[in-house]
Chain A
Amino acid sequence: DAKTTQPNSMESNEEEPVHLPCNHSTISGTDYIHWYRQLPSQGPEYVIHGLTSNVNNRMASLAIAEDRKSSTLILHRATLRDAAVYYCILRDNYGQNFVFGPGTRLSVLP
């Protein structure tokens, strides 16, 4: 599985948008971009995933660069419950395992 690079930590104010970046310069044409988040002492939970086009769901939006070498997870209005570690992961059609990096620790300030 290809590697991703994320900032170690980010900070946001409550009710403001948050843009979490992810670089994946070695992404292949069949790799999907997945985002998960993990609250303290809990298992990761799915946030969103996409292949080429931008994606929206009730939790977040995923903006994918045209060359697919980077992507951004967008939380439109951060809440205190969004404070978590966010993982950006690439997954291809052949590999059945998810490879997790250290992720980005998001702090949300009231």
Chain B
Amino acid sequence: DGGITQSPKYLFRKEGQNVTLSCEQNLNHDAMYWYRQDPGQGLRLIYYSQIVNDFQKGDIAEGYSVSREKKESFPLTVTSAQKNPTAFYLCASTAWGGSGTEAFFGQGTRLTVV
């Protein structure tokens, strides 16, 4: 079945460490997105990528980095520069071609800084 997979589901990080969250899709989608969600809040856009080897900053990109070397993969690195990284992280993908296409979301990674 086609879908979008995030791993791991839960992740613990010590302060000062970088950590990378995985996002893989087999939907042949061109665009991929990373969102952050804090308790009781909506989703905030971190980065998005419309094609391979290209990505754009979202509203809260500081302290995060991404790469898009393959169409299927869009990993997110939470760096030590991110001051408050504890949150629920969601990855999504859409087909290219305008606003009439739906987005598919992964099941999320819950990151906790210990």
Contacts and interface: CB of A to CB of B under 8 A. Distances in A.
B87 interface: no
Given A30-B99, A91-B99, A98 B92 contact: yes
Interface in A54-77: none
A93 B99 CA distance: 5
Contacts of A101: 42
Most buried by A among B35, B41, B43: B43
A45 B105 contact: yes
B108 A96 contact: no
Contacts of A99: 45
Interface in A23-72: 30-32, 34, 36, 41-46, 49, 51
A96 B50 CA distance: 7
Interface string B89-114: 01010100011101111111010000
A102 interface: yes
B6 to A, nearest CB: 8
B74 interface: no
Contact of B105 (A34, A44, A102): A44
B99 A97 contact: no
A82 interface: no
A31 B42 contact: no
A32 B100 contact: yes
A97 B45 contact: yes
B106 A92 contact: no
Interface in B57-114: 58, 88, 90, 92, 94, 98-100, 102-108, 110
Interface of A: 30-32, 34, 36, 41-46, 49, 51, 87, 91-93, 95-103
Given A46-B102, A98-B43, A100-B35, 15 more contacts: A34-B103, A36-B103, A42-B107, A43-B105, A43-B107, A44-B90, A44-B105, A45-B105, A49-B100, A51-B100, A91-B99, A96-B50, A96-B94, A98-B45, A103-B42
Which 9 pairs of residues, A with B, have the shortest CB-CB distance?
A43-B105, A91-B99, A100-B43, A46-B102, A32-B99, A100-B42, A102-B42, A93-B98, A44-B105
